[in-house]
Structure 1
Amino acid sequence: MESRAGLAATPGALPYYVAFSQLLGLTVVAMTGAWLGLYRGGIAWEGALQFNVHPLCMVIGLIFLQGDALLVYRVFRNEAKRTTKVLHGLLHVFAFIIALVGVVAVFDYHRKKGYADLYSLHSWCGILVCILFFVQGQVQ
């Protein structure tokens, strides 16, 4: 038990883990952008490319920024708690706003094309994730 407590108090490898997670996260964002740009025609808010805004916003908001918000307490453990909480909250707010833009893009695209909304398991799970993301912020 004592060795685990000592390990938690002095995370020597933590900077490497954080650097690896940031590199991995940025790689996923870049790969999603490259996939949308090279194989899906790019992104745009108007027209047929509006749907492509959705996957990019979901990856940036719900994977990259939310992951960074969770890491804040470990990375900035020696900073003032208030500063850490503010940064944690701001990252969550930005993640929610970007994810909301992605959801709005899909609903707007479906409305313009005359497609039905919420017709797949993917869409219902996505709405549930957005609701739970918002609710967990209200509970804290």
Structure 2
Amino acid sequence: MDGAAAPARPAGLSAYVAVSQALGLTLLLTTGAWLGRYRGGVAWQSALRLNVHPLCMVLGMVFLQGDALLVYRVFRNEPKRSTKALHALLHGLALLISLVGIIAVFESHRAKGIPDMYSLHSWCGMAAFVLYLLQGLLQ
């Protein structure tokens, strides 16, 4: 495939990517505004540590993971090595930021004496994170 012509970009891809980025940034901004206005903000060394969780999950598991999935479509005419590196970098950042969000929950629960993994939300979230981690490890 080295001598083959690069495939044409699908019609409307730029518009779809622009909409997805706009929606992702809107979600990040509204999450940040919600945390700032109604939940008191975000801080690691206080009772606000739990608020780190939703911000990290939206940034990592939604925004960065979505961008990592789009890399091969958006940069289809770039060298494969470059797109693979960017894809891996975005997935790695998503994993790292999501891990910070999970640690924030466990640390907040430990500080307040709340048991861990007591809700369906926590079990489904942990399952999603572990499956995401396993997918990255087993590729």
TM-score relative to the length of structure 1 = 0.93
What's the offset of the Cα at 1:23? 0.5
Amino acid at match of 1:80: P
Amino acid at match of 2:58: V
What's the offset of the Cα at 1:139? 1.9
Structure 2 counterpart of 1:29: 28
Structure 2 counterpart of 1:83: 82
Aligned counterparts of 1:31 and 1:10: Cα–Cα separation in 2: 32
Question: RMSD between aligned alpha carbons?
Answer: 1.0
Aligned counterparts of 1:46 and 1:107: Cα–Cα separation in 2: 14
Aligned counterparts of 1:11 and 1:38: Cα–Cα separation in 2: 41
Aligned counterparts of 1:10 and 1:118: Cα–Cα separation in 2: 45
Aligned counterparts of 2:9 and 2:67: Cα–Cα separation in 1: 21
TM-score relative to the length of structure 2 = 0.93
Q: 1:105 and 2:96 equivalent?
A: no
Structure 2 counterpart of 1:38: 37
Cα distance 1:10–1:89, how it changes in 2: closer, same or farther (>3 A)? Answer: closer
Structure 2 counterpart of 1:5: none
Aligned counterparts of 2:100 and 2:138: Cα–Cα separation in 1: 23
Aligned counterparts of 1:10 and 1:76: Cα–Cα separation in 2: 9
SS of residue paired to 2:44: coil
Structure 1 counterpart of 2:60: 61
Which structure 2 residue ranges, 5 or more long, are not aligned? 1-6
Cα distance 1:84–1:10, how it changes in 2: closer, same or farther (>3 A)? Answer: closer
* 1:20-39 Cα deviation digits (max 9, x unpaired): 10000000000000000001
Amino acid at match of 1:100: L
Structure 2 counterpart of 1:117: 116
What's the offset of the Cα at 1:12? 2.5
Identify the structure with the greater helix proportion: 1
Aligned counterparts of 1:47 and 1:91: Cα–Cα separation in 2: 29
Give 4+ residue runs of structure 1 displaced > 2 Å after superposition: none
What's the offset of the Cα at 1:11? 1.2
What's the offset of the Cα at 1:9? 3.9
Aligned counterparts of 1:120 and 1:114: Cα–Cα separation in 2: 15
Which structure 1 residue ranges, 5 or more long, are not aligned? 1-7
